[in-house]
Chain A
Amino acid sequence: KNEVEQSPQNLTAQEGEFITINCSYSVGISALHWLQQHPGGGIVSLFMLSSGKKKHGRLIATINIQEKHSSLHITASHPRDSAVYICAVDSQFYFGTGTSLTVIP
């Protein structure tokens, strides 16, 4: 069993849809990271959060420490949001397997 589980593995959405990606973890953490990996492989750090909720543009990340669960939401999705989204926890940097998102125009 992986220390970090993400769902769904693959997601296809129509442009404009509200998207949710979930992450559950089994280890104790100080912070959780949401990363975006583009087709070329480059990685961008979207959020680092240890409690509550953070918002940046159309992206919202929430975390529930007691339930060991985090969600990444994308509002008004756009084709340029197509990427792999990865959840990572700071306990020795365990990574989820990623969610491949495709947004169709």
Chain B
Amino acid sequence: KAGVTQTPRYLIKTRGQQVTLSCSPISGHRSVSWYQQTPGQGLQFLFEYFSETQRNKGNFPGRFSGRQFSNSRSEMNVSTLELGDSALYLCASSFGQGAEAFFGQGTRLTVV
């Protein structure tokens, strides 16, 4: 069974640009959650999508957005990038609440 796939693995962007990250969940999983991991703030929840609907949202500015497609694949977008957005972005897929959540390898975003 294939795991969670995130693309790209590494990304370097300039301040002010926007970026789109992609996550393909484990087959059959309908829930995709996104997290930001930094040395200072740790693992922080961004948002969760379930059956194409945003079910939960963390405390991030509106520059961070996401969506989920009918095949459960999800994308997150960050507009007007800031230096502080440099982080490892992780997505986790799950069958549903109360089920295990499995992480992808992450996208390492560097904003210069």
- Do A and B associate with each other? no
